[in-house]
């Protein structure tokens, strides 16, 4: 069972208490955008085998959204952090680098 | 290739079974092939088979990082049906279902196709309306389905409970020609036929890079060395994103775990396939007597080929409401596969940004039933360089153009 710590209420929540919200840090495009930009925003996904950033909602708890950094190949959790950011914070990146040397933050479009 | 037959069994019985040959050759990679197919699962092998059989392209290698048919082909619940709502889906799945009917004769390999009938239960009034609509659509598409009432459901499946506390059975969409087949045999049968046509099946050969020049693929780097190719086909289901990344493009796909489980074997209790989409469960009884059960996918990206325990609990809990006799059964084993889910829950059979590279993926939770039709359509695309009538609607460009094949709405969850 996947266990994530909600950074909003500091509760260790099992996955049944949470709801997965898909890839994090997508660039959102508005009404005047091109078809290509809309396609990228709505459908194209990194879907990496390895380090992945996701949105989660503590749906049966405080109800708040947060982000999690996880490895999709091992299910290891690197950490969770506030959703009020457009990219992973430095401490999360450092923790990932310690566990996955050579890893780099890909600029998601 | 020595043909399998009743006579062959009698002959081998008399000489202590010394005359059987390997079903497929152990191959070593050549320097170059006309076509390399990455992924020796059902879809990859079927693609190779129809490339050779229908299009005469036989200088083909099929690369597999694990063992043949060891991914989703060997991890599904073997359901075959074609009762889809949208025309492009109905066309390719019905083609597939019809190819299953003659597959054993075609391949000279018993794939144990059992057209025992598939019932999709309607357990809410919304579902009744949805399946009535699908039955009408299927009539127009030439797919043989009918909407049946609860009495007929009970007649076809006596162990069902019609008046469950939460979700009474109000009817079902019934496809009498749907059923199951032996999943491993499908992979083995295609592999044997491909090998017989001179194709090389390279197991434990993982692709580690895609080499390209001037917008065209020139070959692949693998754990068995570099191999050149004229055309490349990526048919790797859950790992499609990884291969696409190597080839330098992105896909509208997320990989998640889907689980299945089987009970201890019991005497024959149910001779149809039942799908209950409202409660996320589907079930059939295998020839060995096990109840084969599948449920919904996990909600988050995962490449580990195992799923969350609570999904098993949810699936079994909801099935017990409709099949109370299951409550006394022990579950024997469980397994997970990594399925590739697209934005509209329909597959991708498409050209890619690289001129001579093709992709077949996105079958999500319903790939097994599509194996022959998908191989047929993908082989046609590779041979002609452009998708044929079966594959045309499944191109990658549909996500940019908004031409979705919206089966996530049509089929509920269980695909």
pLDDT score at B307: 87
Is the confidence at residue A109, as pLDDT, over 60? no
pLDDT at B415: 44
In chain B, where the domains are located = 24-82+84-108+183-252+344-410, 118-178+255-342
pTM, two decimals, is 0.95
User: CA Rg, chain A, in Å?
Assistant: 14
Q: How far is B305 from chain A (nearest CA, A)?
A: 9
Of A15, A47, A54, Cβ closest to residue B253: A47
Q: Name the phi and psi angles at A53, rounded to 5.
A: -115, 130
Closest residue in B to A47 (Cα) is B254
For B298, nearest residue in chain A (alpha carbons): A20
Mutate: best of B206, B239, B301, B311, partner A, most A CBs <10 A: B301
For B414, the 3-state DSSP assignment is: coil
Contacts of A33 (CB under 8 A, 6+ apart): A41
What does the pLDDT profile of chain B (415 residues) look like in tens digits?
889 999 999 999 999 999 999 999 999 999 999 999 999 999 999 999 999 999 999 999 999 999 999 999 999 999 999 999 999 999 999 999 999 999 999 999 999 999 999 999 999 999 999 999 999 999 999 999 999 999 999 999 999 999 988 899 999 999 999 999 999 999 999 999 999 999 999 999 999 999 999 999 999 999 999 999 999 999 999 999 999 999 999 999 999 999 999 999 999 999 999 999 888 889 999 999 999 999 888 889 999 988 888 889 888 988 898 999 999 999 999 999 999 999 899 999 999 999 999 999 999 998 999 999 999 999 999 999 999 999 999 999 999 999 999 887 655 544 4
pLDDT in tens, A39-55: 999 999 999 999 999 99
Nearest-angstrom CA–CA distance, B156 and B175: 12
> Looking at the partner chain, which of B255, B299, B401 has a beta carbon nearest the beta carbon of A47?
B255
Ordered by where they begin, the domains of chain A are 3-99 (3.30.2270.10)
Can you give the pLDDT at residue B277? 87
d(CA B256, CA B301): 5
Q: What are phi and psi of B342, to 5 degrees?
A: -95, 170
The CATH code that applies to domain B118-178+255-342 is: 3.30.9.10
Structure token digits, residue B313: 């609990």
Taking only Cα atoms into account, the Rg of chain B, rounded to an integer number of angstroms, comes to 21
Residue spans of beta strands (DSSP E) within B171-224: 171-175, 179-180, 200-202, 207-213, 216-222
Separation CA B84–CA B77 (nearest Å): 18
Helix axes B183-196, B42-55, angle to 10 degrees: 40
Distance CA B134, CA B132 (A): 5
Question: Is the CB of B403 inside 8 Å of chain A's CB atoms?
Answer: no
Closest CB from B299, B310, B400 relative to A39: B400
Alpha helices (H) in B248-323, listed in sequence order: 309-322
Split at pLDDT 50, 70, 90, the class of A77 is: very high
Report the candidate in B270, B291, B335 with the shortest Cα–Cα distance to residue B76: B335
- Whole-number pLDDT of residue B295: 85
Q: How far is the CA of B207 from the CAs of A49, B49, B135, B225, B379, in angstroms?
A: 14, 21, 43, 9, 21
Asked whether the CA dihedral B52, B58, B63, B64 is positive or negative, the reply is positive
- One of 3.30.160.60, 1.10.10.10, 3.50.50.60, 3.10.105.10 is the CATH number of B24-82+84-108+183-252+344-410, namely 3.50.50.60
Does position A106 have pLDDT exceeding 80, yes or no? no
CA–CA–CA angle A86, A90, A92 (5° rounding):
90
Contact list, B399 vs chain A (CB under 8 Å): 39, 42-44
In whole numbers, what is the pLDDT of chain A averaged over residues? 93
pLDDT tens profile A4-52:
999 999 999 999 999 999 999 999 998 899 999 999 999 999 999 999 9
| Phi-psi group of B388: left, alpha or beta (phi > 0 → left; psi -120 to 50 → alpha; rest → beta) | beta
């Amino acid at each position: 069972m996947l266990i994530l710590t909600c950074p909003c209420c500091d509760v260790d929540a099992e996955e049944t208490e949470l709801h997965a919200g898909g890839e994090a840090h997508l660039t959102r495009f508005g009404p005047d955008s091109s078809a290509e930009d809309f396609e990228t925003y709505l459908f194209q996904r990194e879907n990496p085998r390895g380090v992945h950033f996701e949105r989660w909602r503590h749906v049966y708890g405080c109800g708040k959204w947060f982000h999690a950094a996880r490895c999709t190949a091992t299910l290891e959790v690197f950490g969770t952090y506030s959703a009020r950011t457009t990219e992973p914070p430095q401490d999360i990146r450092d923790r990932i680098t310690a566990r996955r040397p050579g890893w780099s933050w890909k600029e998601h479009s | 290739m020595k043909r399998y037959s009743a006579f062959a069994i009698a002959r081998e019985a008399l000489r202590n079974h010394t005359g059987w040959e390997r079903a497929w050759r152990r191959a070593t990679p050549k320097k170059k092939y006309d076509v390399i197919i990455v992924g020796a699962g059902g879809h990859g092998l079927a693609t190779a088979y129809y490339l050779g059989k229908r299009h005469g392209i036989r200088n083909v290698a099929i690369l597999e990082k694990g063992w043949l048919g060891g991914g989703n082909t060997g991890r599904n619940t073997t359901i075959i049906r074609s009762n889809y709502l949208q025309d492009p889906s109905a066309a390719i799945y019905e083609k597939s279902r019809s190819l299953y009917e003659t597959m054993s004769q075609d391949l000279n390999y018993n794939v144990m196709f059992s057209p025992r009938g598939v019932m999709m239960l309607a357990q809410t009034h919304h579902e009744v309306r949805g399946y009535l609509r699908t039955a009408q659509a299927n009539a127009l598409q030439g797919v043989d389905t009918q909407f049946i009432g609860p009495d007929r459901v009970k007649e076809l499946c006596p162990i069902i409970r019609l008046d469950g506390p939460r979700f009474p059975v109000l009817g079902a969409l019934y496809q009498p020609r749907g059923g199951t087949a032996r999943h491993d045999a499908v992979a083995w049968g295609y592999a044997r036929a491909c090998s017989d046509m001179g194709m090389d099946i390279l197991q434990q050969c993982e692709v580690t890079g895609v080499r390209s020049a001037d917008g065209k693929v020139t070959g692949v780097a693998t754990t068995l060395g570099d191999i050149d190719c004229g055309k490349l086909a990526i048919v790797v289901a859950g790992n499609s994103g990884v291969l696409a990344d190597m080839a330098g493009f992105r896909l509208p796909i997320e990989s998640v775990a889907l689980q299945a489980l089987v009970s201890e074997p019991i005497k024959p209790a149910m001779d149809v396939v039942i799908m209950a989409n409202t409660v996320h469960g589907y079930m059939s009884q295998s020839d060995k007597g096990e109840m084969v059960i599948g449920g919904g996918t996990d909600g988050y990206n995962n490449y580990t080929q195992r799923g969350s325990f609570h999904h098993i609990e949810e699936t079994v809990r909801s099935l017990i409401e409709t099949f109370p006799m299951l409550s006394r059964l022990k579950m024997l084993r469980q397994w997970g596969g990594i399925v590739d889910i697209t934005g509209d829950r329909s597959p991708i059979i498409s050209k890619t940004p690289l001129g001579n590279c093709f992709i077949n993926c996105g079958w999500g939770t319903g790939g097994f039933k599509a194996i022959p039709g998908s191989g047929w359509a993908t082989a046609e695309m590779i041979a002609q360089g452009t998708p044929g009538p079966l594959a045309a609607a499944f191109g990658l460009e549909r996500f940019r153009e908004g031409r979705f094949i919206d089966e996530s709405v049509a089929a509920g969850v269980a695909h």
